[in-house]
Amino acid sequence: MAILVDRDTRLMVQGVTGRAGTFYTDQAIEYGTTVVAGIRPGKGGARHLSLPVFEKVTDAMRETGANASLVFVPAAAAGGAMIEAVEAGVPLVVCVTERVPVLDIVRVRQALQGSATTLIGPNSQGILSPGKCKVGVMSTADARPGRIGIVSRSASLTSEIVAQTSATGLGQSTTVGIGADPVRGAGFVDCMRLFMDDDETEALVLIGEIGGNEEEMAADYLRSERPRKPVVALVVGRHAPGERRMGHAGAFTALGQSDAAAKIEALREAGVYIAEDATRVTQAVRQALLEKAA
Read off the pLDDT of residues 70-79 as tens digits, 9 standing for 90 and up.
Answer: 999 999 999 9
Domain boundary among 89, 120, 151: 120
**Residues with a known catalytic role:** 248
Residues 158 and 288 in one domain: yes
Show the domain range for 76.
10-120
* Buried-state track 156-195, b at ≥16 Cβ within 10 A, e below 16: ebbbbbbbbbbeeebbbbbbbbbbbbbbbbbbbbbbbebb
- Size of the chain in residues: 294
Per-residue pLDDT, 292:
87
Q: Does the residue 133 lie in any domain?
A: no
Which residue(s) pair with 150 in the sheet? 175, 205
Mean pLDDT, to the nearest integer, of 205-225?
94
CATH number at residue 195: 3.40.50.261
Mean pLDDT, to the nearest integer, of 13-41?
98
Pair 215, 263: CB distance under 8 Å: yes
pLDDT at residue 243 tops 60: no
Residues 102 and 221 in one domain: no
* Buried-state track 221-257, b at ≥16 Cβ within 10 A, e below 16: bbeeeebebbbbbbbbbeebeeeeeebbbbbbbeeee
Q: How many distinct helices (H) and strands (E) make up the chain?
A: 9, 14
Residues 149 and 243 in one domain: yes
How many structural domains does the chain have? 2
Per-residue pLDDT, 258:
67
Give the C-alpha distances (Å, rounded to integers) separating 124 from 179, 184, 241: 4, 9, 25
Per-residue pLDDT, 239:
61
Q: Does the residue 85 lie in any domain?
A: yes
Give the C-alpha distances (Å, rounded to integers) separating 90 from 60, 71, 214, 240, 287: 11, 12, 25, 39, 39
Q: Does the residue 62 lie in any domain?
A: yes
Q: What is the mean pLDDT of the chain?
A: 93
> Cα–Cα distance between 123 and 94 in angstroms, integer?
9
Question: 203 Cβ partners below 8 Å, 6+ apart?
Answer: 147, 148, 149, 229, 230, 231, 232, 285, 288, 289, 292
Which residue(s) pair with 232 in the sheet? 205, 273
CATH number at residue 55: 3.40.50.720
pLDDT at residue 254 tops 50: no
Q: Does the residue 258 lie in any domain?
A: yes
Per-residue pLDDT, 233:
98
The pLDDT tens digits of the residues spanning 32-65 come to 999 999 999 999 999 999 999 999 999 999 999 9
Per-residue pLDDT, 244:
52
Per-residue pLDDT, 196:
97
Residues 170 and 95 in one domain: no
DSSP 210-249: SSSSHHHHHHHHHHHH--SS-EEEEEE-TTPPTTS--SST
Per-residue pLDDT, 241:
60
Residues 154 and 236 in one domain: yes
pLDDT at residue 248 tops 60: no
Mean pLDDT, to the nearest integer, of 156-178?
97
pLDDT at residue 257 tops 50: yes
Residues 19 and 111 in one domain: yes
pLDDT at residue 250 tops 60: no
Q: Does the residue 135 lie in any domain?
A: no
DSSP state of 50: T
Per-residue pLDDT, 240:
61
Residues 213 and 102 in one domain: no
DSSP 276-292: SSGGGHHHHHHHHHHHH
Per-residue pLDDT, 242:
59
